[in-house]
Amino acid sequence: MSSEKVVDEILRNPQLISAIADRVYEKLKDEIVIKRLEENTRSIQILQEAVKSLQEEVKKQGEAIVSLQQEVKRHGEAITSLQQEVKKQGEAIVSLQEAVKSLQEEVKRHGEAITSLQEAVKSLQEEVKKQGEAIVSLQQEVKRHGEAITSLQEEVKRHGEAITSLQQEVKKQGEAIVSLQKEIERHSRIILRLVRSQKKFSVELGSFTSRAGKGFERTMLKLYRKALELHGVDPKRVEHGTIVDTVGVIEKGRSFEVDFYETNDYIYVFEIKNFSDKGVIDQVFIRKKLFSALYNKPLKVFVVTNYIEKEVKEKLEKEGVEIIASYVVD
């Protein structure tokens, strides 16, 4: 019988299979246990050798540990000393941190101050630049002024020479005026006595001066020439004439005798009398109204007189009239 058939017969017989399996198991079991024991024996031997080697290593390590413990002890003492030193340094660091904090605050304040200073410096630089430009312009202007001053100095020198000559002439005229004033005062005292003693005579004298007309007025203007010049008046330019009321300020078509002259800036109007009483007030006011209505220029009004009543003088001066007189009569 072939082996395949034998196998087929066995497979078809469960009891046989079970018996064979038990027998095979027992045999295999014994072989496996023995094999395992051998393996364990070898392993134990290897382990014993390893344990012995480990014991020797442990002994060495023990000795190393003792040495290490001693070293650790020394390190511990060093660490304790170091900890104390670290504690001191920690306290120093805390103190230093507080100082650094204070320093940081101070630095912050300084930073703010520096920022403010930088802005101020920037502003100052701009201002200095502007001033530099202004200085350059000013230097040019000063140079021009210097040239003008040099020219002016030369002109002043010429004027000085002219003034010196004029002063000499004025001195001569002053001496003549002093002599003339003394003569006028002498005549005025005589006339004043006549005025005080005989009012009628003064009125007649006033009428006479009115009739004398232009010659008398010229004489009066020459007599008071210096006083008029002090007021900016040129007596030589004064003209005697008439002005017509063309607009009806006083009476339309009416003519009035006047003494005046005109400049670019003003119209100068004069009332020339030997004796000025209240009648002069109306005459002055009439001429002021006429000239103000007919001319578009400011007026300067003068009363030139030998004698004037105090009340008349005060009233005219309140109205802006300039009074040139020898005597004020109460």
CA dist., res. 284 & res. 191, Å (int): 25
User: What are φ and ψ of residue 266, in 5° steps?
Assistant: -140, 165
Q: Which stretch of 3-12, 80-89, 128-137, 221-230 has the lowest confidence by average pLDDT?
A: 3-12
Under 8 Å between Cβ of 307 and 192? yes
Coil, strand or helix at 194: helix
pLDDT for residue 271: 94
CB 205 within 8 A of CB 229: no
- 3-class DSSP assignment, residue 17: helix
User: Of 23-37, 153-167, 250-264, where does the model show the most confidence?
Assistant: 250-264
Predicted model pTM: 0.39
- 190-211 per-position pLDDT tens digit: 555 554 544 443 444 444 444 4
> What would the mean pLDDT of 17-37 be, rounded to a whole number?
74
What would the pLDDT profile of 220-272 be if each residue is shown by its tens digit? Answer: 888 899 999 999 999 999 999 999 999 999 999 999 999 999 999 999 999 99
Joined tokens for residue 8: 């087929």
Residue with tokens 């008071």: 224
Share of the chain above pLDDT 70, in %: 78
More confident residue, 298 or 27: 298
pLDDT at 200: 43
**pLDDT above 90 coverage of the chain, percent:** 32
For residue 318, CA distances in Å to 150, 251, 293, 330 come to 47, 26, 21, 18
Contact 228, 237 (CB under 8 A): no
The CA-CA-CA angle for residues 5, 7, 13, to 5°, reads 105
DSSP state of 235: G
The tens digit of pLDDT for each residue in 100-151 reads: 688 688 758 877 876 776 786 587 688 768 877 877 877 887 688 778 777 7
Give the model's pLDDT for residue 255: 94
Residue 135 confidence (pLDDT): 74
For 163-209, the three-class secondary structure string (H helix, E strand, C coil) is HHHHHHHHHHHHHHHHHHHHHHHHHHHHHHHHHHHCHHHHHHHHHHH
- Comparing 223 with 316, which gets the higher pLDDT? 316
Q: What is the dihedral of CA 280, 283, 285, 289, to 10 degrees?
A: -170
pLDDT at 175 over 80: no
Q: Which residue has the tokens 């306290």?
A: 91
